[in-house]
Amino acid sequence: MKHKLAELVTDLSADYADIRHEENRKIQIVYRGKKLEQITASSTAGGNLRAYAGGGRSIASFSDPASAGSIAKTAVASARLVGASRDTPLRIAPAPVVTDSFLVSPTEDPRSLPLEEKLALAAHYNELILGEADVVSTMTAYDEFYSRRQFINSEGSVVEYDLLNVGIAGFVVTKRGNVVQRIRFAFGGNEDFAGLRGREDDLKRQIVKAQELLDAEPAKAGLFPVILDQSESSLFIHEAFGHLSEADGLQNNPAFRERLQLGTTLAKPILTVTDDSTVPGHPGSYEIDDEGVRGVRTHLITEGVLTGRLHSRETAAEFDEPLSGNMRAVDIQFTPIVRMSNISIEPGESTFDDMVASIDDGYYLVGAKGGQTSGDQFTFGAQWGYRIRNGKLGPMVRDINMSGELFSTLEAISMIGNDRKFGERGGCGKGGGGPMQLNRKSGSGAPHIKIDRVTVGGVG
Amino acid sequence: MNPIIDRAKQTVDQAELYWNRTDRIDVRYANYSMQTITQDQHSSVALRVVSDGKLGTTYGITPDQDGLLEDARTAAAHGDPATFSFAPAADYPEVRTYDGEAASLTSEDLVALCEAAKERIRSKRPDIALAIQARRETFHRIVQTTHGADAESRSTAIRFGISAPIKGAGIRVVKSMASIAPFELNEALVEEFLEWYGWTEKTSTPSTGRLPVILAPEAAFLLHLPLCAGLSADAVQRGTSPLCNRVGEQILSEKLTLVDNALLDGDIDSRAFDDEGVPCQKRAVVEAGVLKGFLVDQRNGAALSVPSTGNARKKALFGEGTELSPNPWPINLETRPGEISYREMIADLDEGLLLTSGMGFHSGNYPQGQFSVQAVGFHIRDGRVVGRLDKTMVSGDIYRDLLSVRAVSREQKGHYIDSMLAVGRAPYILIDELQVAGQ
């Protein structure tokens, strides 16, 4: 296979070509309520090819290896068609040739465990939830994804690498009268099955919150100072800032390119943000990206100043900035796009108690509940929250979210906690100019942070 | 029948094969410059089996892939007892979903469509960072079961969209169209895009309080997605749907009728059969605001002791694909149009919002009908648009706030490019009041 792929990319008469071949194995077990709704073991394979020719770029993907040759030739012709229409040719930054192998060997390897064991663990957690008061439904899903990838380019890189990710995630649905609430939980997020065991206490804490939410009042809308817990801070820095540090999103947006020049002051000096694929054990950790470039630690904001960006070889050439190894594809059907690895806010010096004490009338938002950004606008949900009045935590609130504009919100970060935590499960949806790719290998971490003024939305 | 169905008959109780082959060409421009051409050719299969009374599933590339049936049997060995049967033989309705000319479109043809849009818009607005997308897709879908269902269809889809980021903000103005057959550049689409882009150049923040809101077709997900969740037989049989036991009741304004029209001639979302091989149909789910029935697949139909309505889709909130389990979802949902134009709605308002999207929808409690989103759209004062919405949240509950609808427009549209949340077609809907948090 490797030899055939190498022949394919070198015989294309393209300026540059690469191919990524994948053999993927997935196991999914899904409980909903008392029912085992899905148990799946599946195997897929295929390839994804990129060609640069005549100043243009083209992409092709296929599941039938027999069609690889013809589709690759069409891709080169398409790249030339793109190039012929452009005023400025697309080009890629030089990158070291890599001939190496990066295979994973976890402490407790999920690939070697029997299906029965995975099923029993998911069932155990699901039953634990169902045994609690007010619970009307659950979703408990075991997800294991293993991808053996081969990357070969026309410059001589030949890389074999593994992606392995295992986790249990889901939600608890509680109901009393007409009030229905849902709380998420998630364990794992790396290659080690051991991280999924013994998580009963963590799960019970989430169930208690789902029960307590039934008595909580909806949040009131308005402008407030807020404290975000580590999970919500992680979501904020990932969604609101992180996506704007991905250079492919800026590449064709002149207004944002102008606004986000390196050296621009974005926040108070207390804020430092990094993206780091080299730190082990997190969802977004890896050795090499899907463009054959080694992952690194990138300082995105250093003491409030924009100092770095996440790149592909193409955007690194266009911005004349260093490679960062952030090109990743979810699976065969997708071409790599620029993605965060493990983005995080570096720890500060404030304590949580200091933050609460500094607020007369505001909210404490807890637990990421998904978010959405569009350029500099963001909206995030929180799983639950608490009112803060006169420097003290008040009652729990539900149905709470926050929204705002990135730049003014970054400036409004006034305290950073000394208690950074990384989330266990990753996840990020991004189109990047193509179809939506839902990437499970995306991590984030942060301490508590205080934002002086943000729009809080609620149903009330 | 595919040989795997014959093999399955000898080794398992029941089997269902879902096989989809796609061929896609996608052309993208950014900032008036062609960026890339993508060509994808994929085959994917899902095989569900019931073995010794238990259900298991596997996915793969082709039905003749080594180990496919064995993987499904392994999964079934650990599965729960199957509570339903795969679809039986059926007569499928005729519906036109394929156009031969569309199937043979090349990347050059799509480039020509994009170039026409590029030249047309650049002549008016060279200052914006225009993105253009044109995509041609063909699908060859087969569903076969050991119970005799044998469904096969070919379909085509051409999607075209133009968009540009608003200056000084990242939100985009987007307009799109789609057809099963080739089409020329639509002048009305371009004109509306340019008009809406012009409206974004000033910002305006409305008053805080309860204001009338025009829900544009692009924002129809605020109505359609909570309804998809509430109408799902899955939520009904679990008791979590807010519509449980409410068939025959008024759940929305009498001005709102929603039809799941799988048989709409020549529409890209029409289908003769669902993802379990059950015939699709045209049926009203809400008629003049009254709940008429739910969306049912084989599994949930068995749990509720009702037949499938042909609404099994391999679809979830954020995606669609062979590797998703079938679950109840509309095939081709539409909110039926009314009689006035949306410009008349705008002219009629002293103050209100034209909502074209809402950010953060999916993090809210939408399965219960509630939403709280950052408003994207335009502020209306004294019967005209005065600017794009800034620093504005809108919240509501469709089962409370959409009982009072003032008008429904005669214009009806879908949203066809890379929207995570788009589902179905809708007119502009003038809601009496929603809670707005602005100034």
What ipTM was estimated for this complex?
0.86
d(CA B290, nearest CA chain A) in Å: 21
Distance between CA atoms of residues B391 and A391, nearest Å: 27
Q: pTM of the full predicted structure?
A: 0.89
Residues B298 and B361 in one domain: no
Q: Is residue B327 part of a domain?
A: yes
Structural tokens at position B256: 């709102």
Tell me if B58 sits within 8 A of B68, measured CB to CB: yes
Residue A42 pLDDT: 86
Residues of B in contact with A251 (CB under 8 A): 30
Which segments of A241-376 are extended strands (E)?
A: 273-276, 297-302, 305-306, 327-328, 337-338, 342-345, 361-374
Residue B312 pLDDT: 98
Distance between CA atoms of residues B313 and B332, nearest Å: 11
Residue B418 pLDDT: 62
Q: Is residue B26 part of a domain?
A: yes
Residues B108 and B128 in one domain: yes
Q: What is the mean pLDDT of residues A315-326?
A: 97
Q: Is residue B235 part of a domain?
A: no
Low-confidence ranges of chain B (pLDDT < 50): none
Residue A370 pLDDT: 79
Q: Is residue B227 part of a domain?
A: no
Residues B42, A63: C-beta atoms closer than 8 Å: yes
Average the pLDDT over each of A85-89, A456-460, B96-100 and give the range with the smallest value: A456-460
Q: Count of alpha carbons within 13 Å of A137, Cβ hemisphere only?
A: 17
Nearest partner of A382 among A363, A369, A395, judged by Cα: A369
pLDDT band (50, 70, 90) for residue A334: confident
Residues of A in contact with B165 (CB under 8 A): 253, 255-256, 375
Q: Is residue B254 part of a domain?
A: yes
Residues B39, A63: C-beta atoms closer than 8 Å: no
- DSSP labels for A198-262? T-HHHHHHHHHHHHHGGGPEEPPPEEEEEEE-HHHHHHHIIIIIGGGGBHHHHTT-HHHHHHT-T
Residues B423 and B342 in one domain: yes
Residues of A in contact with B44 (CB under 8 A): 44, 63
Residues B345 and B433 in one domain: yes
Average pLDDT, chain A: 92
Q: Which residue of A has its CA nearest to B417?
A: A435
**Res A200 pLDDT > 80:** yes
Residue A150 pLDDT: 96
Residues B124 and B175 in one domain: yes
Q: Is residue B179 part of a domain?
A: yes
Residue A382 pLDDT: 93
Work out the number of other CB atoms within 10 angstroms of the CB of residue A219: 26
**Which of B302, B334, B366 lies at the terminal end of a domain, its last residue?**
B334
Residues A457, B372: C-beta atoms closer than 8 Å: yes
Residues B36, A82: C-beta atoms closer than 8 Å: yes
Residues of B in contact with A90 (CB under 8 A): 35
Residues of A in contact with B368 (CB under 8 A): 180
Distance between CA atoms of residues B340 and B354, nearest Å: 16
Nearest partner of A6 among A159, A179, A222, A176, judged by Cα: A159
Helices (H), B1-131: 3-11, 68-77, 100-103, 107-122
How many independent structural domains does chain B possess? 3
Residue A432 pLDDT: 60
Residues of B in contact with A336 (CB under 8 A): none
Residues B42 and B184 in one domain: yes
Residues B33 and B157 in one domain: yes
CATH number at residue B39: 3.30.2290.10
Residues B364, A399: C-beta atoms closer than 8 Å: yes
**Res A460 pLDDT > 50:** no
Work out the number of other CB atoms within 10 angstroms of the CB of residue B35: 24
B143 phi/psi in degrees, rounded to 5? -130, 125
Helix (H, G, I), strand (E, B) or coil at A196: helix
Residue B439 pLDDT: 67
Residue B362 pLDDT: 78
Considering only CB atoms, A379 lies closest to which of B129, B166, B373, namely B373
Q: Is residue B233 part of a domain?
A: no
Residues B127 and B256 in one domain: no
Residue A2 pLDDT: 74
Q: Is residue B231 part of a domain?
A: no
Q: Is A392 exposed, middle or buried (0-12, 13-18, 19+ CB in 10 A)?
A: exposed
Domains contained in chain A, CATH given:
2-215 (3.30.2290.10), 218-458 (no CATH)
Q: What is the pLDDT of residues B95-142, one digit of tens each?
A: 999 999 999 999 999 999 999 999 999 999 999 999 999 999 999 999
Beta bridge partners, A146, equal A25, A164
**Res A459 pLDDT > 60:** no
Residues B148 and B278 in one domain: no
Residue A434 pLDDT: 62
d(CA B108, nearest CA chain A) in Å: 8
Residues B426 and B299 in one domain: no
Helix (H, G, I), strand (E, B) or coil at B83: coil
Residues B325, A333: C-beta atoms closer than 8 Å: no
Residues A39, B78: C-beta atoms closer than 8 Å: yes
Distance between CA atoms of residues B78 and B57, nearest Å: 11
Residue A426 pLDDT: 76
Q: Which residue of B has its CA nearest to A43?
A: B60
Residue A14 pLDDT: 93
Considering only CB atoms, A429 lies closest to which of B36, B165, B420, namely B420
Residues of B in contact with A40 (CB under 8 A): 56-59, 75, 323
Q: Which residue of A has its CA nearest to B76?
A: A39
**Which of B273, B308, B334 lies at the terminal end of a domain, its last residue?**
B334
Residues B238, A459: C-beta atoms closer than 8 Å: no
Q: Does B205 touch chain A (CB under 8 A)?
A: no
Q: What is the mean pLDDT of residues A105-115?
A: 94
Element (H, E) at A142: strand A135-153
Residues B72 and B168 in one domain: yes
Residues A372, B74: C-beta atoms closer than 8 Å: no
Considering only CB atoms, B418 lies closest to which of A373, A399, A431, namely A431
Q: What is the pLDDT of residues A45-68, one digit of tens each?
A: 999 999 999 999 999 999 888 888
Comparison of pLDDT for A452 and A239, the residue scoring more: A452
**Res A194 pLDDT > 70:** yes
Residues B348 and B390 in one domain: yes
Domain of residue B215: give its range.
203-222+337-437
